[in-house]
Amino acid sequence: MIAHHCLFIALVSSLLTESLAVGFQCWNDPVPNPKECEGAITNIHFDTTTKPSRLPLTEGKVRTINGGCAVSPYFGNLPDFWPSSFELGDIHLFLILITDHDASMTSFALNQLIIKNPNRASVTEDSIRKVLDDAAKQCPGKGGRFSFPENRSVNLEIRPRAAPGSERLAFDPDFPLEKTYCYQGGKEILPITDKGACIKALENLPTDANGIIMGDDNKPATSVYKYSKSCTLYIFTTDQSLLQVVKKDVAPKITKMIQECDTKRGNLNLNGAQGPNGRVLVYTYA
E strands in the chain: 24-26, 64-66, 69-71, 92-95, 113-116, 144-148, 151-157, 181-183, 223-228, 231-237, 265-270, 280-285
Residue 95, pLDDT above cutoff 50: no
DSSP strand pairing (265-270 vs 181-183): antiparallel
Burial of 97 from C-beta contacts in 10 A (0-12 / 13-18 / 19+): buried
Please tell me the distance from the alpha carbon of residue 68 to that of residue 93, in angstroms, as a whole number: 19
Residue 46, pLDDT above cutoff 90: yes
Q: What is the pLDDT of residue 220?
A: 97
Question: Could you tell me if residue 8 is inside a domain?
Answer: no
Question: Could you tell me if residue 212 is inside a domain?
Answer: yes
Residue 276, pLDDT above cutoff 90: yes
Distinct helix (H) and strand (E) counts, the chain: 5, 12
User: Phi and psi dihedrals of 40, rounded to 5?
Assistant: -65, -40
With H, G, I as helix, E, B as strand and everything else as coil, classify residue 279.
coil
- How sure is the predictor about 163, in pLDDT bands with cuts at 50, 70 and 90? confident
Q: What is the pLDDT of residue 120?
A: 66
Provide the residue range defining the domain that includes 181: 176-285
Which range scores top for mean pLDDT: 3-7, 63-67, 82-86, 181-185? 181-185
- How sure is the predictor about 127, in pLDDT bands with cuts at 50, 70 and 90? confident
Statement to judge: residues 59 and 88 lie in one domain = yes
Question: Could you tell me if residue 7 is inside a domain?
Answer: no
- How sure is the predictor about 1, in pLDDT bands with cuts at 50, 70 and 90? very low
Please tell me the distance from the alpha carbon of residue 205 to that of residue 256, in angstroms, as a whole number: 17
User: Which range among 121-135, 142-156, 254-268, 271-285 shows the weakest confidence by mean pLDDT?
Assistant: 142-156
Statement to judge: residues 208 and 278 lie in one domain = yes
Q: How many CB atoms lie within 10 A of CB 89?
A: 13
Last residue of a domain, one of 157, 190, 217: 157
Question: Could you tell me if residue 145 is inside a domain?
Answer: yes
pLDDT tens-digit series, residues 134-146: 878 888 877 777 7
Statement to judge: residues 153 and 234 lie in one domain = no
In this prediction, residues 262-275 reach a mean pLDDT of 97
- How sure is the predictor about 99, in pLDDT bands with cuts at 50, 70 and 90? very low
Total number of domains constituting the chain: 2
pLDDT tens-digit series, residues 50-94: 999 988 888 877 777 877 776 544 333 333 333 332 332 333 343
Statement to judge: residues 125 and 40 lie in one domain = yes
